[in-house]
């Protein structure tokens, strides 16, 4: 009986204590606060300002502005004499295109809308953290 109790206590002690407790929780990366941007009326090639707090010019290499990449237009016309159902060709991809950052100031980042930008969410990336701050339509 003593051996059984000793065995159970040892098993509980070994499995109950672990050095990796709370190791699966991600580390929170503090970054700049950003505001949303209204992209209505904004065209490809326009300068846009992302406003917020906490931007630092020495962190410029850690900042990225991502747009959804637009796929090239298909130039072939599809004609059919049969009655068929066809899916429309996609015009946006699932890839991102990086905007060129022109300037970083304490309260804003100024960037250019890329020529290959398509319809979709616009994201601000700081280190490994992505935040959506607007929706661009061509």
pTM beyond cutoff 0.85: no
Q: What pLDDT was estimated at residue 26?
A: 47
Distance from C-alpha of 35 to C-alpha of 132, rounded to nearest angstrom: 10
pLDDT at 27: 46
Q: What is the mean pLDDT of residues 118-136?
A: 93
The stretch 43-70 carries a mean pLDDT of: 90
| pLDDT of 108 strictly over 90 | yes
- Sketch the domain layout of the chain as residue ranges: 31-72+90-138
Percentage of the chain beyond pLDDT 70 is: 66
109 contacts 101 by C-beta, under 8 angstroms: yes
Is residue 67 within 8 Å of 37, Cβ to Cβ? no
Q: Selecting from 2.30.30.90, 2.60.40.10, 1.10.287.130, 3.90.45.10, what CATH number does the domain 31-72+90-138 have? A: 2.60.40.10
Task: Check pLDDT > 90 for residue 89.
Answer: no
């Amino acid at each position: 009986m003593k051996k059984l109790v000793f065995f159970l206590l040892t098993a509980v002690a070994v499995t109950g204590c672990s050095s990796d407790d709370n190791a699966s929780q991600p580390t929170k990366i503090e970054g700049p606060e950003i505001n949303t941007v209204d992209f209505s009326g904004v065209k490809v090639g326009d300068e846009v300002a992302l406003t917020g707090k906490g931007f630092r010019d020495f962190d410029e290499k850690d900042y990225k502005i991502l747009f959804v990449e637009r796929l090239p237009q298909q130039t072939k016309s599809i004609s059919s004499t049969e009655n068929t159902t066809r899916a429309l060709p996609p015009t946006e991809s699932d890839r991102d295109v990086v905007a060129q950052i022109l300037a970083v100031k304490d309260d804003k980042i100024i960037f250019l809308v890329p020529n290959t930008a398509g319809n979709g969410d616009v994201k601000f990336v700081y280190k490994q953290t992505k935040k959506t701050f607007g929706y661009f339509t061509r």
